[in-house]
Chain A
Amino acid sequence: MHRLYILPTLIINLTIILVPAFLTILLAFYKWDGITLPRFIGFDNFEFLWYDRVFWLALKNNIIWTALFLTIPVAFGMLAATMLLVVRRGRMLFQVIYFLPMIIASVITARVWQGMIFNPVNGIYGLLDRYGLTLTNPLSEPSSALFGVATVDLWHWWGFLAVIFFAALRQVSEEQIDAARIEGATFFQMMRYVLLPAIKPTIMLMMVMTVIWSFLVFDFVYILTQGGPAFSSEVLSTMAYRHAFYDLGVGKAAATAIVISMFGLAATVFYIRIQTREGDL
């Protein structure tokens, strides 16, 4: 009888998530322009992606993005979280400041960076140029466009990790911390032997989610560069969007979506494996 309690969530999941997901998987094997009727073509869409230069470029960009987001915001977040642990007064204020970029709509954040910071005429870059320091707008060069977009998203994202890690750190049992202090542990030893191991599940979860979210990244890339210039900041989701809505190739977009999901699935399997090994599941 108690199993019936999962029914409402299950129904919602099936209709809103499972049915569209299944249809997307099905569409990957069809040629469809989104207007006329779909036509079955087997693995042709995947073959197209295999031989498409832009697909491999986008995949490479997603991998670079994942590497950036698995390191920089995690390091910054941990640093800020430990600082917050040490500081007693002003903790709330700092948490709010760190979290603020996260709550601003991504469109606004992107436009501010594009128009008021990176812009070499009207933005801060332009101001610096007038004082003799000429910086190139990273969004305008193929070699730096992806990193320019990543900078904006890193600025938007790291505060979230700081707050999450801080919340996890606060959950660590006081007795363990006291015991370590009594035994003469320095702050770094406390971090290394008590705090970090204690919040390892949180760090693991955030890293797995980072991998999944890195392969889903869309909004900042689309708003700032639409994958340009010259495909240099193209990621799998912007490529899929283009195929679906501009090239009338919904089948190719569905095939790309499956590739994205495969990476997310791999990360999830990895996470569940680790959890099972540690006996948490």
Chain B
Amino acid sequence: MKRLVLVLLPLFFSITCTNKKASLSWWFEAANPNQRQWLNELMEVPFETLYPEYDLSIDYRGNTLDQQLRVALLSGNGPDIIQTPGPGYLATMVQAGQLMPLDIYADEFGWKDRILEVFLNMGSYDGKLYFLPKTYETIGLFYNTKMFEENGWAVPKTIPELEMIADEMIKMNIVPFAAGSADWRQASEWFVSIVFNSVAGPNNFYKALKGEIPWTSEPFIDAVDKLKEWWDKGYFGTNYHSLTIEQSFATLSDGTAAMAPTGTWSFQYIPTYFKGREDEVEFVGFPSAEGLPTPLYMLSIGSTFSIANNSSNPYGAARAIDFMFSDDFYGDINTVWQGEWNMPLRDLSNVIIGENVIPQYRSSMENLANAVSNNQYGYTTWTFMPPATNNYLHSGIEEVWFDVIDSGEFLAKIDKLFQEEKAEGKVPSIPER
């Protein structure tokens, strides 16, 4: 009997161990059926064809992905490829030893040559690389070209020019800023980011993030006061808290609103609301105050990729991430799913995006990449501020809008929270300017 077992054992192992693919797990956020199909056709299938030794499975976890990840990683489980909604929590995850340094893969796959340097710096803590952005975005100004032409408005480059045409719009009962927060109350952070960059200036923003000046400094008080002024004048219309992001963007297409200060993620709504008249919408950098550079592209990271420190297949995970940072994948995925897959490739000249995608999208992405590589960028609160500070910001600015507190009190609370989190090492990496 013993002899039989000894003979059968190697046979058993040889049967089960041959042709065994290495499994790679990736937890994704929410995706509708079309999007899942695109990921399957453009990622899972080609990746497994190119590397047949891997079995990649994408698990769609919904909008609470980051909370599920936190619980899983705490218990030593979780996927190989870790996708988070932004760098906010990454500093803490690095401190807890949950993420693997990616420097060896960066060297092997040549990421330093292919990816914009500022993002490699943003993904580094204590000199080691821990994440790459899945997509980087910016906030700017969409505007309705037809309405501008009909009313003889010039595209504003400075804040005074913006306010001049906005005041005219108010008189004509046109909403200057199409905006809505009913389904994403955090939308208020976009407007705080806008004024922090366009009024206070990116250099001051940088200094405050580094802790060199407090958030209660004069430039930020001016910035918040300016945002309050826009709110009081009615620039955001009367339905800001009632409309969803999509509904508010739609008002740009039906004559209700003339401009939309929002991010490049809104490109995904253009095929629906500007169908057949895509030339009636254009995207430019947000105007700046006098003396500040223009155009200014505020940097935002939409999602990040890391590898779990306890991954059983880190090399496979790195290969999967590398696969996504290729011209082919960039072109294919952006042809069908705009606004969510702007991987920070240095050189977009060889990328082929389908003809059905509006040219404004491609040119915006190229302008953004050029601006970033020339250090002409600003900051967004959700990418560069630590979690509790940014979280207070959403509601705090509403308190300013509704006269519960003033800009001084708002910024004092921001500063208090920021300094506390900075002392605990929770502030994301701020690359040198």
For B426, what are the chain A residues with a Cβ–Cβ distance below 8 Å?
Answer: 33, 248
In the bound complex, CA of A142 to CA of B401 (Å): 11
Within 8 A of B (CB), among A77-91: none
A237 within 8 A of B: no
Given contacts A137-B239, A140-B239, A230-B402, contact A33 B92 (CB under 8 A): yes
Given contacts A226-B185, A228-B395, A242-B391, contact A248 B89 (CB under 8 A): yes
In contact, B89 and A227 (Cβ under 8 angstroms): no
Also in contact, A248 and B387, with CB within 8 A (given A34-B70, A140-B241, A231-B399):
yes
Q: Residues of B at under 8 Å CB distance from A?
A: 67, 70, 73-74, 89, 92-93, 95-96, 98, 182, 185, 238-244, 247, 251, 387-388, 391-392, 394-395, 398-399, 401-402, 404, 426
Among residues of A, the one whose C-beta sits closest to the C-beta of B404 is A230
Please indicate which of the listed interface residues B67, B241, B426 has the most CB atoms of chain A within 10 Å of its own CB: B241
Contact B185 A36 (CB under 8 A): no
Chain B residues with Cβ below 8 Å from A229 are 185, 241, 395, 398, 401-402
For A140, list chain B residues within 8 Å (CB).
239-242
User: Is the Cβ of B92 less than 8 Å from the Cβ of A142?
Assistant: no
Does A62 reach chain B (CB closer than 8 Å)?
A: no
**Chain B residues, Cβ within 8 Å of A227:** 395
Name A248's closest neighbour in chain B (CB-CB).
B387
Task: Name 11 A/B residue pairs within 8 A (Cβ), A-sorted.
Answer: A33-B92, A35-B96, A121-B251, A122-B247, A140-B239, A229-B402, A230-B399, A230-B404, A245-B67, A246-B387, A247-B387
Q: Which residues of A are at the interface with B, using a C-beta cutoff of 8 A?
A: 33-36, 114-115, 118-122, 137, 139-142, 225-232, 242, 245-249
Question: DSSP class of A's interface residues: helix, strand, loop or mixed?
Answer: loop
The answer to whether residues A119 and B242 also contact, given A35-B93, A36-B96, A248-B89 and a CB cut-off of 8 A, is: yes
Which 10 pairs from chain A and chain B are nearest by CB?
A140-B241, A247-B388, A230-B398, A230-B399, A137-B242, A246-B391, A36-B96, A35-B92, A35-B96, A229-B398
CA A249 to CA B387, docked complex, whole Å: 10
Residues of B within 8 A of A36 (CB): 92, 95-96
Q: A35-B95, A121-B239 given. 20 additional CB < 8 A pairs?
A: A33-B426, A34-B70, A35-B89, A119-B182, A120-B239, A121-B242, A121-B251, A137-B239, A139-B241, A228-B241, A229-B395, A229-B402, A230-B401, A231-B395, A231-B398, A232-B402, A246-B387, A247-B391, A248-B388, A248-B426
